[in-house]
Structure 1
Amino acid sequence: MKSHIMTKHSSTDAIRFATTVAMMTAITATMFLSAPAKAEQPSFTTGVATQTNAGLIDCGDRSRVSAVGEIKSEDGKTWTVPADTQFTTATKATDLYNECGGKKLDSLADLDLSTVPVVDASGNGAGKEIFTAYIFPDNYFELYINGVLIAVDPVPFTPFNANVVRFKTDYPFNISVKMVDWEETLGLGMESNRGTKFHAGDGGFVAHFQDADGKTVALTDSSWKAQTYYTAPIVNRKCLVINGGVRDSSACNQQSVTSFETASAAHWAIPENWMKTDFDDSAWPAASTFSNDTVGVDNKKSYTNFTEIFDTKGADAEFIWSSNLVLDNLVLLRKTVK
C-alpha cells in the first residue's frame, strides 16, 4: 500500500514537472518569438568622401555627375558612397523614356513589349508565367526577382528616366529592389539645388507589375518592406533613433547643414542575402508612401508620359521609400507576391 501511494505521488509529481517544463518552454519560445529585433548600431563617418570614379556615365550638360567615392568610418570600416552597385556589369533595363542617349516614348502605345527581353527568375528554368514591371526611379534602382538580378537603371542620377522589364517565374515570387538617391557631395547625401550646395536631395520609387494578360499583380504601396542603410547629412547624431529594426531620422534637421567638414553620415552593412526569397525581413518597417507632389514628378515627361500605368485608375501605384524621403539615401525594398 505504501509502495502504491509512493508510485501515485511520483506519477503525479512527474506530470506536474512535465507540465511545468512544457509551460516554461512555451513561455520562453513565445518571449523569443515576440522579442524585438536587436538594434543594429550604425557606423559614423564625418565629412566628404574621396572620389574613386568621376562619373558612371557622361550625359553632358543634361545630367548631374554620377560620381562614386569611398570614406572610412570611425570604427575603421570603408564605405562606398552613395552605394556599391552593379551598374558597370549588369544588364540595363529597357527604356520607356531616357534622355541620355536612349529611347523617349510618348506613351505606352509606342511600346512594343516583344522587344523587351524576358529574364528567367524561376531558378530552375521551369517558370511558366511572364510578368512585366513598369518602373520610375528617383534616382537609381537594381531589380531582383527571387534573388536573380533582372536589370539595373541605365541612368544612375539624372536626367530622370523610366523603364520596363520582363521576367518569367511562378507564384509566389519575391521582389527586391536596391534604391539609391544619388549625391553630388559624396559621403553626405547633398546636391546643389535651390541656390545652395548644401541641399539634401530626395528619393522615391514607383512600380506597377502586371501578368501576361495585363492584370495587376503588384503595386508599390505600404505593403512593401523598406530599410535604410545610409542616412545623411546628419548634423547632430543624437537625432537618429535606433529601436529594433527601426532607424528613425525624422528628428534630424534637413536644412541646417552649413559645413561639409562637420556633417556626419550613418552607415549599416547590407546583408549578403538581402535579395533572396528566404531572407527574413520581418523586422523591417513597412514602406512609407509619398504623393506625386511630394516627390515632384509633374514636370517630368519620364513620368507624365506614362501616368496611364503609374496612376492607373483603380490600380494607382504609390511612391515608396523608407520613413525619411530626404535623408535616407540607400534603401532596400522587398515584397512577396502570392
Structure 2
Amino acid sequence: MAGTAVLLGMIGVAQPIADAQQPDTTSVQPSFTQGEAQSGITMLYQWKGNNPRTANVGTITSPDGREWMVPAKTHFQTAMKAPDLYNEANGVEPTGIADVDLESIPVIDAGGDELFAAYVFGDNYFEIYVNGELLAIDPVPMTPFNSSVIRFRAQRPLTIAIMGVDWEERLGLGFEKFKGASFHQGDAGLVAVVKDAAGETIAVTDASWKAQTFYTAPLKTKDCLVLKGSLRDSSRCSTDDVDDGTTHFAAHWPIPKNWAAVDFDDSGWPNAAIFTNEFVGVDNKPAYTNFTDLFDDPKADGKFIWSSSLVHDNLVLMRKTIGDRHNE
C-alpha cells in the first residue's frame, strides 16, 4: 500500500540495480522537450491531509524521438519503502530521536557484517543504494514531508548513491501548484546522516559528495542553461512564477545504467552544491526540525545538498564513497 513501510522481517534483502533508463553517455547535450506531458499518466500516491498533493508520473517524447518518464522513473511500486523516522501519513510523529525505537527497524542485508543506520530527509523523494544495492525508497513521493531511517549491514568501504527527485504536478514542466498559483517553481534538497553501530557519525551530506542533474525544468528559454564539460548549470534560469508556463522547456539526459555501482566513475561529475536550512525552508517541517540534534549536530552537521539549482533541477543523482575505519 502506498505510504506504508514494508517490513521484510528483521532482515530485509537489498535489491540489485534494476534495468537502465538509457545507455551510458558522456555527452553534455540534452534532449529538450516543450510543454506538458500528456501520455502514460499514472498516479503513484495521493495525500488528502494538510497540503493535499497527488504524485503522478507520465511520459513525454522529445523531437529526437526519445521518450522520457517525468519527473523520474522510480522503483516506488516495487521496492521496499524506507521505515519512517517521521511520517504524518502513517501516524509516525515522534518529538525527537529519543522517541524512536531504533531496534524495531528492520535490518537490510547489503552484503556485509557491519551495522549502519542512514537517516534521510528529502524534498521530495529519494532512493538509496549502498555498494550497488538498492536498499529502500521514500514512502512518500511528494507530501506530506517525511523523514526516514534505514538500517543495513554492509562491508566498508561504503559507496552510497542516492537518487533525489523534486516532484512536480505539471508533468514535464517542473511546475507545481502553490497558494493558488498553477505554475509555481518548487524547490528541492536532501540531507543525510550515516551512523555506525556505536552511534558514531561516519558520513554526512556535504560539498564532498558528487551530484549531477538529469532532468531540468522549467526553462523559459533553452539558452539559460549553461553546458560546459560535465557542468549542467541552470542556476541562471528564471525562478519567477508565471501565469501560463505551458510553452516552457525541459532538458533531459539519459541515466547511466550502472550509476550506483561501486566502480562507476563519478570523477567527472560536479561536486554537490550546499544550501542553508533557511534557503531550503525547513523551519516548519517537523520531519526535520524534530531531529535537528541529529541532522544539525555541531560535530557532524549534515548539509542540504543538490546540484546547481534547487529550483530547476528535478532529478539529481548523488554519490559518496566512505573509506574504512582508519581512512574516513
TM-score by structure 1 length?
0.85
- Counterpart check, 1:335 vs 2:323: no
Task: Kindly indicate whether the alpha-carbon contact (under 8 Å) linking 1:51 and 1:186 is maintained by their aligned counterparts in 2.
Answer: no
- Counterpart check, 1:246 vs 2:226: no
TM superposition shift of 1:85: 0.3
Aligned to 1:100: 89
After superposition, the Cα gap between the structure-2 partners of 1:116 and 1:265, relative to the gap in structure 1 and judged at 3 Å, is same
Spell out, residue by residue over 1:126-173, the C-alpha distance to the aligned partner (whole angstroms, 9 max, x if none). Answer: x12111011111000000001101100000000100110011112111
TM superposition shift of 1:250: 1.8
Aligned to 2:163: 178
**Pairing 1:172-321 to 2, within 5 Å after superposition:** 172-255=157-240, 257-321=242-306
TM superposition shift of 1:314: 1.2
Task: Kindly indicate whether the alpha-carbon contact (under 8 Å) linking 1:235 and 1:256 is maintained by their aligned counterparts in 2.
Answer: no
* Counterpart selection for 2:141 from 134, 156, 160: 156
More helix by share: 1
After superposition, the Cα gap between the structure-2 partners of 1:135 and 1:235, relative to the gap in structure 1 and judged at 3 Å, is same
Instruction: For residue 320 of structure 1, give the secondary structure of its aligned residue in structure 2.
Output: strand
* Counterpart selection for 2:43 from 55, 58, 64: 55
Comparing 111-120 and 205-214, the one that deviates more = 111-120
Task: Kindly indicate whether the alpha-carbon contact (under 8 Å) linking 2:182 and 2:243 is maintained by their aligned counterparts in 1.
Answer: no
Read off the aligned partner of 1:78 and give its amino acid letter: E
Task: Kindly indicate whether the alpha-carbon contact (under 8 Å) linking 2:194 and 2:201 is maintained by their aligned counterparts in 1.
Answer: yes
Task: Kindly indicate whether the alpha-carbon contact (under 8 Å) linking 1:235 and 1:257 is maintained by their aligned counterparts in 2.
Answer: no
| Gap runs ≥5 in structure 1 | 1-36
Task: Kindly indicate whether the alpha-carbon contact (under 8 Å) linking 1:47 and 1:261 is maintained by their aligned counterparts in 2.
Answer: yes
Separation in structure 2 between the aligned mates of residue 87 and residue 43 of structure 1, nearest angstrom: 25
Aligned to 1:113: 102
| Gap runs ≥5 in structure 2 | 1-24, 324-328
Instruction: For residue 238 of structure 1, give the secondary structure of its aligned residue in structure 2.
Output: helix
Read off the aligned partner of 1:209 and give its amino acid letter: V
Separation in structure 2 between the aligned mates of residue 313 and residue 93 of structure 1, nearest angstrom: 26
TM superposition shift of 1:78: 0.6
The aligned length equals 298
TM-score by structure 2 length?
0.88
Q: Which is bigger in relative contact order (C-alpha 8 A, separation at least 6)? A: 2
TM superposition shift of 1:60: 1.4
State, as a whole percentage, how many aligned pairs show the same letter. 54
After superposition, the CA RMSD in angstroms is 1.4
